[in-house]
Each structure stands twice: as C-alpha cells, then as structure tokens.
Amino acid sequence: MAAEFPPLLSFILDHMDDAVFIVEEDQSIVFYNQAAEALTGVPRAEAVGESCKLVFGDENDQAYCVFQELRDSAAEDAGARTTIRHRDGHSLPAHLHMRRIPAQVAGRPLMMGVIRDLSVLERLSAQVADRYRFEDILSRAPQMQTVFTMIRSIADMEVNVLIQGESGTGKELVARAIHELSGRRDGPFHAVNCGALTRELLESELFGHERGAFTGAIKAKPGRLELAAGGTLFLDEIADMPPSLQVKLLRVLQERTFERVGGTKSIKMDARVISATNVDLKQAVAEGKFRQDLFFRVNVVPIELPPLRERAGDVELLAGHYLRLVSERTGRGPKRLSEDALRVMMDYPWPGNVRELINAVEYAVAVSQGEFIRPDDLPRHLIEAPAVVLPSPASATFPTTPPAPPPSLKSDEREFIRQALIDHAFHREATAKALGMSRSTLWRKMRELGLVAAH
C-alpha cells in the first residue's frame, strides 16, 4: 500500500506531473499518484491493490507487453509508446517507461511505471511544424520563404518552371506544391527521372509507343506526356536527357504536339511541364551538354533551392519533425534529441540534404535505447565529421576583419552569420529572426564560431 513507502518519497511521487505507479511482480498496484488518477480517471482508492491491468488493459495492449517484458527478463527497464484509455472512454497517446526497484531499496522486488501524456506535446509539435509548413515542405529559412512566395505567384500561370538544387533538397516536393496550388490540381501528376533510364526506355516512357515499334513492343502504350493530360509532367534530372531526346522535347514544347514512338498520329499535349536538375544548367549549356534553345524553353521561371547547410535553423526544425513522425510510425517513442546530438547535427554539412537527415533520424530511432537520442545513436559518419578549430577572438569587440579559419563549411557559416549581424546593425533579435533561429541559438553559434569573445 502507499503507506509502506517513506512519507517523503510518497510526497515527491504524488506531486510529479507524470503519472506514476508501482506494482508487485504479481501485477498488483501498491502505489498510484494523483497524476495517474487524472490520466486514467481511476481513483487511487480503486487502483491500489488491484491488478495493473486496470492501467494496462488486456494482454494485447502495448503497455501490458512492456510490463511482461520487464517482468520476464533480466533487463533493468523497458518502455514503449502506448495508448491510455481514460475511464470516460477517450484515449490519449502516451509513453510508458518501467524500471525495476531493487529489493534492497523497497524490501521486496517492485517495478515503477511512469506514464507521460503525449497529447499536449504532440499537439504543440504539430503546431510548430504547421507554422513553418508550406504544402509538404517544412522550413523557417528566409530563402525558403522566398521560394514559397514564388510558388504561390506562379502556380496558376501556365508557364514552364525549372527547379535547381542539390540532390535531396526537395525539388519534387516543390513541383508537387506548384501542381497542388494550380488549376491543374485535379489532374494527374507524373514524374519521370531522366537520368534513371536508357535513351530508348526514356523515349518510350515520355512519348509512348505503338505496337511493333521495337522488339518487345507487343502492344501500344501511352507515354507520360499523354497520361499527364490535364495535369503536370515533372522531368527530374533533365540535364541527363540524351541530346536526341532534347531535340524531340524542344519540338513538343514549341508545337504542343507529339507522336508515339513508331506512330504517325499527332497527339495534342495538355500538360504543364516542370523540370528539375541538380547541376548548373547554364554551365551545361556552355559546355555543350544541354541545348541552349531547350534551356530557354524550360527555364521560363527559375526556382533555386538552397542546400540544407545554408538554411539556418532548419536542421533543428526538420530533425524534430521527422523524429516525431518516425517515432510514431515505428512505435519507438517518444524520442527527443539531446543537446549534444543536436549540436552534432547542427555542425554536420549534410551533403545529402533533407533526404540524408531523414535517413539519419530513422537510423537513430532504430538504434537508440532510451528516450533521448544521443551522439552515439547517430550514424557514425556524422560523429566522425572533421571538427574545425576556431581562432580565439582577440577582444570582446565584434571583429571587423576576423582571422580567417581554414576553408570549410564552418567558415562559410561563420561569414554568413557575421554578414547577417552587420546587415542588422548587430541587433541579435533582428538577426535571429532574419536567420530563422532563436536568440539563444544565434548566441550559441556566435560563441562557437568566434564571433564574440568568451568571458
């Protein structure tokens, strides 16, 4: 019973915000705090002495599995995401963590459970994400807010769009956002990766073919230009399109008609074309790898996507967002980033951009054991990324001409933040807002990058 515990311990546990209960190995509850009463709707007088199934539910409940796992193993603790059913019938997302209480502490083997109500946390996390969400794209960076404005402006214009950015920056998400905000939103969206297919397969994929057009063409097949009628055709990695197909695509964009491979019937094209590339298409034109006339056709409205390393504040936002999604999907949550793990992620250059960050989060959730993601839970290459030794500032004044650190992404970030501070007259709040980060994050980065003297 609750009276068996020292009064001070009972007082502390009873005034915790999280629901706390203590059970015997035979499942009977011996302690049940006020937060547990509020979370479950079961009064303490009814709970103490009863089976913990009052809290867990039946054997099919995830929470009961946590109890069994801990009871039947030599582990010190166990935990999982679960759902708590209130007596009035509503359910709450929660995380249950159970830990053994050594017999020498309690006089007999006991197990303590802590249930954290996730409903408020998840609602707040969703609100934060929604604040910086545009369609399926998440960013607080000023550069991306400019992109969002551009998307809104041109979505309903029947113009060709060229999206340029490194791999993993979300070019297809931008194309889909344009489609969803356009008058073609009820039509199909078809994507073709121009670099993933041979010339023959890409030609057939785009234009379709008639029966007998080539060996293996046993029946006619419409191409994506035809299937995208009334909607949008997204040509990813257009720079990899073979020269012979560049000529054919140019003709389609000029005349708005095409023929299937092996066919003679002219088909009217009724699709908006959005292209994307991860290379400098102007440079490809200069090198003779891409037709200049086709470049002008696809590049009516250019959109540049910045790499993740230039999107100040987005690493923390995206990591938290995908950590919540992956934890929910896998049932291994809730998970939170420790300050050290976040610092590792903030300092990493992310050559694979958002796609690499998502992979890192999925890895961390899979290997981590506790509630917090720690540096050792991150992929090894993030932890082993070379550190940059920053010069010590000579004085407490803002360095007008800072000592040049070794060429690196760190030095690029240093100059980027330094210039932002200059642009905003060294006003930290205005600078932080412009960079899309909190004042505390800006201050931490200023100290780490040698932009302020240590006191």
Question: What tens digit of pLDDT does each residue of 218-264 get?
Answer: 888 999 999 999 999 999 999 999 999 999 999 999 999 999 998 88
Two structure tokens written together for 94: 């929660």
CB-based contacts of 24, cutoff 8 Å, min separation 6? 30, 108, 109, 110
pLDDT of residue 280 exceeding 80: yes
Residues 163-183 pLDDT 10s: 999 999 999 999 999 999 999
For 187, list phi and psi in degrees, rounded to 5: -90, 175
Q: CA triplet 160, 166, 172: central angle to 5 degrees?
A: 45
Residues 102-144 pLDDT 10s: 776 667 788 888 888 877 655 655 554 455 566 678 888 888 8
Q: Where in the chain is the domain with CATH 3.30.450.20?
A: 2-117
- Whether residue 334 is preceded by a cis peptide bond, meaning omega within 30 degrees of 0, is yes
**In Å, how far from its chain's centre is CA 319?**
6
pTM as predicted? 0.60
Q: Where in the chain is the domain with CATH 3.40.50.300?
A: 142-305
Q: Where in the chain is the domain with CATH 1.10.10?
A: 390-455
Looking at domain 390-455, its CATH architecture is Orthogonal Bundle (1.10)
Q: In whole angstroms, what is the distance from residue 155 CA to residue 181 CA? A: 6
Q: Where in the chain is the domain with CATH 1.10.8.60?
A: 310-383
Q: In whole angstroms, what is the distance from residue 50 CA to residue 43 CA? A: 11
- What is the CATH T-level fold of the domain 142-305, as seen in this structure? Rossmann fold (3.40.50)
The mean predicted confidence, pLDDT, of the chain is 81
3-class DSSP assignment, residue 75:
coil
**DSSP secondary structure letter of residue 402:** P
3-class DSSP assignment, residue 256:
coil
Mean pLDDT check: name the lowest of 38-42, 270-274, 358-362, 382-386.
382-386
- What is the CATH T-level fold of the domain 310-383, as seen in this structure? Helicase, Ruva Protein; domain 3 (1.10.8)
**DSSP secondary structure letter of residue 156:** T
Q: In whole angstroms, what is the distance from residue 100 CA to residue 372 CA? A: 20
- The string of DSSP codes covering 204-238 is HHHHEE-TTSSTT--S-EE-HHHHTTTSEEEEETG
Measured from the Cβ of residue 49, the count of other Cβ atoms closer than 10 Å reads 11
Q: Are the C-beta atoms of 192 and 227 separated by less than 8 Å? A: no
Residues 380-399 pLDDT 10s: 999 887 543 333 333 333 33
CATH class of 2-117: alpha beta
Helices marked H in 299-393: 314-330, 339-347, 353-367, 380-383
Helix or strand (DSSP H, E) at 125: helix 119-131
Q: In whole angstroms, what is the distance from residue 318 CA to residue 307 CA? A: 13
